[in-house]
């Protein structure tokens, strides 16, 4: 599907989709819980369908009705065939930890993009718990064979927080306590807090400090869990409003532990007009100015924040997020290439990029390499382009924001499917 975006005047109200991160975790936790759980406000997307398939492969039964799923778990078995995570890194990584609970081989694979994403730090950590791990040089497909015996584990935290979440989620199912020491920093640390909070909601005992400690043998209890709105998805209409309009984003909760709620402060710091209220957050166009931002805790915001700053007055530097090299694409390289294709003055660094703001961009044809966040950021960039922004395969947004094209069109982003 080829889509041509022609900018527009953003005006109105929009409700962002449910959190993808929370949806993945809720489905896995409900599958491990002994009994029936209900997950409400479910994000139904390509990635979360991969997780539904993974939990069903272990014998969990699911019944999806609209945005609600009833899931009966607890009596699980090893999958009888290889599990396909498709393009979902979260599915691949969290399921690998759960698969280590079985005393038989479990193989997990994915699409061509996912097979380029590293798994080495997680496999090394699992091997410390007695798990046998095989892979293609630290990349999928992988095969793990438990049982996972828990105990003290050391893990490299510089590549992905999902490795740590994987160890944490499996730990209550092991009789022995698990103590995780994270070496070389904790990238995307807010996601570890989300994991811990949700584990507690399902009855686990976990503490996060200098070390992460999880009590073994508790298992999980079924519950009713409602998925919050996704700040990483909300960032796209928020930035669109800051570039060209006045938009209210409904249903977002600033008390939620999602690290990507930082987009509100980023917008304010860059000069957008932001008002918080009980019903949500209103963002209006302001005089944007360059800034320096550490993106280490919020890497998913990187592409759209780079777009925000591409026409800000002065220079900007985004730094602290080398893990972006290992996302659906090399997200630093892909973001910089996208900005340059549209006429921005941007250059990549080892852990981010440098942007010299311009009054307007030119527009053009971009390559997003199947990365949903690059695709959506480029669509937002059309608001500050003199000409149209054209791209192939725009339906890749279905990974995290299935309604993106329709909902953004409803509040003013002009687009044409050809």
DSSP 50: H
- Average pLDDT in the 73-78 region? 96
- How far is C-alpha 266 from the geometric centre of its chain's CA atoms? 18
Please determine, for residue 217, whether its predicted confidence score (pLDDT) is greater than 90: yes
Specify the pTM. Answer: 0.94
Specify the CATH number for the domain of residue 8: 3.65.10.10
The chain-wide mean pLDDT, for the chain, equals: 97
- Average pLDDT in the 265-293 region? 96
Does 80 share its domain with 177?
yes
Does 217 share its domain with 78?
yes
Does 77 share its domain with 119?
yes
- How far is C-alpha 60 from the geometric centre of its chain's CA atoms? 24
Does 140 share its domain with 258?
no
Does 159 share its domain with 264?
no
Last residue of a domain, one of 191, 226, 261: 226
Give residue 393's domain range: 3-17+229-417
Please tell me the predicted confidence (pLDDT) of residue 350: 96
Return the percentage of the chain with pLDDT > 90, whole number. 95
Number of domains into which the chain is organized: 2
Write out the DSSP string of 286-344. Answer: ---B--EEE-TT-GGGHHHHHHHHTTSBSEEEEES-GGGGGSSS-HHHHHHHHHHHTT-
Please determine, for residue 20, whether its predicted confidence score (pLDDT) is greater than 90: yes
Does 198 share its domain with 316?
no
Placement of tokens 């987009």 in the chain: 263
Please tell me the predicted confidence (pLDDT) of residue 233: 98
Question: Residue 279: pLDDT band by 50, 70, 90 thresholds?
Answer: confident
Please determine, for residue 3, whether its predicted confidence score (pLDDT) is greater than 90: yes
- Average pLDDT in the 66-82 region? 97
Distance CA 129, CA 152 (A): 8
Question: Residue 184: pLDDT band by 50, 70, 90 thresholds?
Answer: confident
Please determine, for residue 31, whether its predicted confidence score (pLDDT) is greater than 90: yes
Does 247 share its domain with 214?
no
- Average pLDDT in the 23-43 region? 98
Does 392 share its domain with 253?
yes
Please tell me the predicted confidence (pLDDT) of residue 114: 96
Last residue of a domain, one of 201, 226, 251: 226
Question: Looking at the annotation, which residues are catalytic?
Answer: 300
Contacts for 195 with CB less than 8 Å, ≥ 6 apart: 25, 164, 165, 168, 169
Last residue of a domain, one of 193, 226, 259: 226
Please determine, for residue 134, whether its predicted confidence score (pLDDT) is greater than 90: yes
3-state SS class at 125? helix
Does 222 share its domain with 323?
no
* Residues 344-360: tens digit of each pLDDT: 999 999 999 999 999 99
Does 215 share its domain with 236?
no
């Amino acid at each position: 599907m080829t889509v041509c975006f022609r900018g527009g005047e953003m005006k109105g109200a929009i409700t962002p989709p449910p959190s993808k991160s929370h949806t993945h975790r809720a489905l896995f936790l409900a599958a491990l819980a002994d009994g029936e759980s209900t997950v409400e406000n479910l994000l139904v997307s390509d990635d979360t369908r991969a997780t539904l398939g993974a939990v069903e492969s272990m014998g969990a039964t699911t019944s999806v009705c609209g945005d609600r799923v009833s899931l009966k778990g607890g009596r699980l078995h090893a999958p009888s065939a290889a599990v396909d995570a498709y393009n979902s890194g979260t599915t691949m990584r969290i399921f690998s930890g759960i698969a280590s609970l079985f005393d038989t081989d479990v193989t997990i694979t994915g699409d061509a993009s996912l097979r380029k994403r590293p798994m080495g730090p997680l496999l090394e950590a699992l091997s410390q718990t007695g798990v046998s791990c095989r892979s293609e040089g630290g990349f999928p497909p992988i095969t793990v064979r438990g049982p996972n015996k828990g105990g003290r584990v050391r893990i490299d935290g510089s590549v992905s927080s999902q490795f740590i979440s994987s160890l944490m989620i499996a730990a209550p199912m092991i009789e022995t306590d698990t103590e995780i020491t994270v070496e070389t920093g904790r990238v995307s640390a807010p996601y570890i807090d989300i994991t811990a909070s949700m584990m507690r909601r399902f009855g686990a005992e976990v503490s996060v400090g200098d070390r992460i400690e999880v009590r073994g043998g508790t298992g999980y209890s079924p519950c009713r869990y409602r998925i919050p709105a996704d700040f990483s998805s909300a960032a796209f209409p928020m930035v669109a409003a800051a570039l060209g309009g006045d938009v209210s984003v409904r249903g977002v909760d600033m008390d939620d532990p999602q690290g990507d709620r930082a987009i509100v402060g980023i917008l304010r710091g860059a000069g957008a007009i932001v008002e918080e209220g009980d019903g949500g957050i209103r963002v209006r166009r302001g005089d944007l100015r360059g800034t320096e931002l550490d993106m280490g805790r919020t890497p998913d915001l990187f592409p759209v924040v780079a777009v925000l700053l591409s026409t800000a007055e002065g220079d900007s530097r985004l730094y602290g997020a080398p893990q972006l090299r290992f996302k659906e694409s090399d997200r630093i390289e892909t973001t910089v290439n996208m900005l340059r294709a549209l006429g921005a003055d941007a250059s990549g660094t080892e852990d981010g990029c440098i942007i010299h703001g311009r009054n307007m961009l030119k527009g053009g044809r971009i390559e997003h390499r199947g990365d949903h966040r690059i695709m959506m950021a480029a669509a937002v960039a059309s608001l500050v382009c003199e000409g149209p922004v054209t791209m192939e395969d725009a339906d890749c947004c279905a990974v995290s924001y299935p309604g993106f094209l329709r909902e953004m069109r409803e509040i003013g982003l002009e687009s044409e499917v050809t």
